[in-house]
């Protein structure tokens, strides 16, 4: 029987592998046959990113898993420090990662970048202005990079997730709050959180050769929280 999500022979770099979707991504990608390079180091400096990629050897696929707990600040109280910190974690590493990892992909005329992004960039939420802005920068970056890299047979795409089980954003104590239950009931056509493995499985699919047809595309994975 055919196995469409066979990642044998693929070396996949997963950043922030101990946060956000990192752990489940490493599990699922490895179960699909990939050789996972799981990095838990900081991505805050350009030097660290360059040396990470250099020491990682061949990278067939980069899974850009970037996370920071979302501040819940009112817009009028957002400080420059909050803004800078969130952008330093979620946005600035992206072009640096691209700069580090794309040359070898361009040379091979093959490769993929998959961003684990957020649907908070697609639908507004209160007290999420900083976070949404950073996530919006990510998605628009991926759209542009995808179009630019397509002629090199390199696919750059993004998952835009929300309401997916993960320890960074939806720890059990949040899931138990009555207001959270109400939110699921009203905002989530799925009626439950998306499971971590559902999200990671879709990411794994997007890492396969079968997904070579997608160009700078943003895939919502949020149980219907955004309609498209």
Catalytic residues: 131
Task: Concatenate the DSSP letters of all residues of 14-57 into one string.
Answer: ESSTTSTTHHHHHHHHHHTT-EEEE--S--SSHHHHHHHHHHH-
Q: Which residue's CB is nearer to a second copy, number 40 or number 196?
A: 196
Measured from the CB atom, the residue of 22 and 220 that comes closer to a second copy is 220
Residue 40 or 58 having the CB closest to a second copy: 58
Q: Which residues of 164-182 are buried (b: 16+ CB within 10 A; e: fewer)?
A: bbbbebbeeeeeeeeeeee
- Could you give the CA distance from residue 166 to residue 50 in angstroms, rounded to a whole number? 28
Could you give the 3-state DSSP secondary structure of residue 193?
A: coil
CB of residue 55 vs a second copy: minimum separation in angstroms?
19
Between residues 17 and 92, which has the closer beta carbon with respect to a second copy? 92
Which residues, 6 or more positions from 228, have their beta carbon under 8 angstroms from its beta carbon? 220
Distance in angstroms (rounded) separating the CA atoms of residues 171 and 33: 29
């Amino acid at each position: 029987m055919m196995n469409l999500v066979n990642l044998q022979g693929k070396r996949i770099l997963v950043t922030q592998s101990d946060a956000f979707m990192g752990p489940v991504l490493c599990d699922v990608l490895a179960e699909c046959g990939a050789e996972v390079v799981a990095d838990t180091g900081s991505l805050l400096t350009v030097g660290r990113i360059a040396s990470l990629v250099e020491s990682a050897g061949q990278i067939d696929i980069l899974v850009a898993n970037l996370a920071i707990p979302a501040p819940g600040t009112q817009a009028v109280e957002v400080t420059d420090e909050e803004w800078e910190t969130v952008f330093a974690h979620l946005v600035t590493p992206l072009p640096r990662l691209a700069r580090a990892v794309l040359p070898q992909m361009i040379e091979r005329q093959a490769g993929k970048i998959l961003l684990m992004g957020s649907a908070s960039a697609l639908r507004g939420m209160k007290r999420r202005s900083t976070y949404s802005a950073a996530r919006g920068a990510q998605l628009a970056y991926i759209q542009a990079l995808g179009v630019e890299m397509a002629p090199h047979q390199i696919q750059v795409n993004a998952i835009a997730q929300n309401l997916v089980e993960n320890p960074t954003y939806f720890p059990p104590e949040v899931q138990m709050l009555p207001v959270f239950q109400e939110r699921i009931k009203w905002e989530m056509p799925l009626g439950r959180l998306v499971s971590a493995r559902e999200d990671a499985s879709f990411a794994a699919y997007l890492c396969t050769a079968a997904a070579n047809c997608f160009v700078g595309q943003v895939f919502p994975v949020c149980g219907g929280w955004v309609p498209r």
